[in-house]
A and B are shown apart, each in its own frame.
Chain A
């Protein structure tokens, strides 16, 4: 089986290096960062932290070099989905493409370029510490399921999930992946921007009762939008939020959006709170708090252009 990781940042690298441990999987990585690509080709892709492995794979920043693949795993930041899949779609003419990105709306973008799409959600996290070297911070499960309007065959989804699991990334193939996806989107949309706007780490957001109440207000809107679509969340995002606030879990964790804001980088707000607002409008569910938070974080991004 041949798999191409599209966007080999932190999360993409976790999939790439783990899958590369398997003899029956040939792994390719497409990434725009040339130094990262060169380091991977020269020394392999190294993970450290939650797991210590090095994966041997082929990396390229030139999409034309990609051979035909059975699977794509798209792991770019959500705002780069369109450009990344436009460049690589030719490699997946006969294959299936999964997204393990943050937010909602990525599947729709992929489906405009490839025939068979896999809806995915992943919890592992890390960060690129040097070209060819990713720190693996958090282990966790991945869920894959069909993107309903243009689904990948169930057998193919199971085949990819099996490979990921055998490689070291526990992955479940399910008939409806929307529950886990919306749980994570609601979690991210309700906590990340609150941290980004106040410059507080996750635990400090949660220990202020008034701020925690705002988080719950955001969660409630997200749940209502999920419910209006007939999506059953696999568990309550509130439980995930409280779990993450524990000192031994992610109390001190600066969400990626806070890291983005501190570095004046574009955030994924359009695909988190923006996604909840857009889907809410489609289904007649008001989402005033998510819309307010969306506008505020867009305002933060606009302030960098001054």
Chain B
């Protein structure tokens, strides 16, 4: 049974993990800003929305000021992962480290900075961060966890069990790649289309009647992704097109993070998501002209405001 967890990076996803897990384990939070740590230490962390409670937890900007955890959850945005992993180098040698970033390649980035056993995960839950010490739990969809380096399916099941006992949804896999790739293809498609059109993930993404309907583009993008997965020897866990259609039927107009990023003129995760898919395609000599086009457009849009 895991008794201590450090959540590194407390945006909305990190805050949701930290808040819920603090109900079943000792939780510490590693933040980037001192005010963020101060607010958490002074006020605790409030979770509203689908959950409603406030927990006490320890927060600091220096890993040396935090107790040694058994599990570290790296919950920062993909664009912040490299500097965060560098800050953790040499710390928490006995811990298992789990990445939650979108896309592909987070494990390699972290693995380069230490010998920790690594777990992979992808999460479908979502939240809105209202303040340093307040997060709203919005979508109660699951986090999927699997072994990566120096870890086993049992380790993944232990973490999934802990997360489930805290009130979030989690599932363990002996091989996460089928699930990870399903989400990669889904994200590469939906995030890039949303970022370029300004549309939240709504019914337009599933419309396929007219030649100019966005659903046709979404389906073609998903098909390109499936071809890459097949060439990489990955059998998908879920059909990303069906994930897309289901998500648009939920009635909740979800704003993908890449859309929020371009609207706020922040760097996007396009390198870890669409960039990763395009590079995998290149590695397996699979042409992906549509993902390549979207990758170039999103990067250019970022360049326009950065």
Where the two chains meet, the residues of A that have a C-beta atom closer than 8 Å to any C-beta of B are: 194, 197-200, 204-205, 208, 210-211, 213-214, 217, 269-270, 274, 277-278, 281, 288-289, 291-296, 298-300, 302-303, 306
Contact = CB atoms under 8 A, between A and B. Distances in A.
B169 to A, nearest CB: 29
B216 interface: yes
B243 interface: no
A303 B255 CA distance: 12
Contacts of A294: 211-212
B245 interface: no
A289 B199 CA distance: 20
Contacts of B296: 208, 210-211, 213-214
Contacts of B300: 194, 198, 200, 205, 208, 210-211
B93 interface: no
Contacts, number: 93
A299 B196 contact: yes
A194 B300 CA distance: 10
Nearest to B259: A303
A292 B293 contact: yes
Given A277-B211, A298-B212, A306-B199, A291 B303 contact: no
Contact of B293 (A200, A204, A217, A269): A217
Contacts of B217: 291-292, 295-296
Interface string B218-233: 0010000000000000
A73 B251 CA distance: 48
B262 to A, nearest CB: 10
A274 B212 CA distance: 7
A293 B212 CA distance: 9
A208 B303 CA distance: 10
Contacts of A298: 212-214
A146 to B, nearest CB: 29
Interface in B173-192: none
Contacts of B204: 299, 302
A291 B211 CA distance: 8
A200 B301 CA distance: 8
A270 B204 CA distance: 17
B297 A214 contact: yes
Nearest to B192: A296
18 contacts: A198-B300, A198-B304, A199-B301, A199-B305, A214-B296, A217-B289, A269-B212, A270-B212, A277-B212, A289-B290, A294-B211, A295-B214, A295-B216, A296-B196, A296-B217, A298-B214, A302-B199, A306-B199
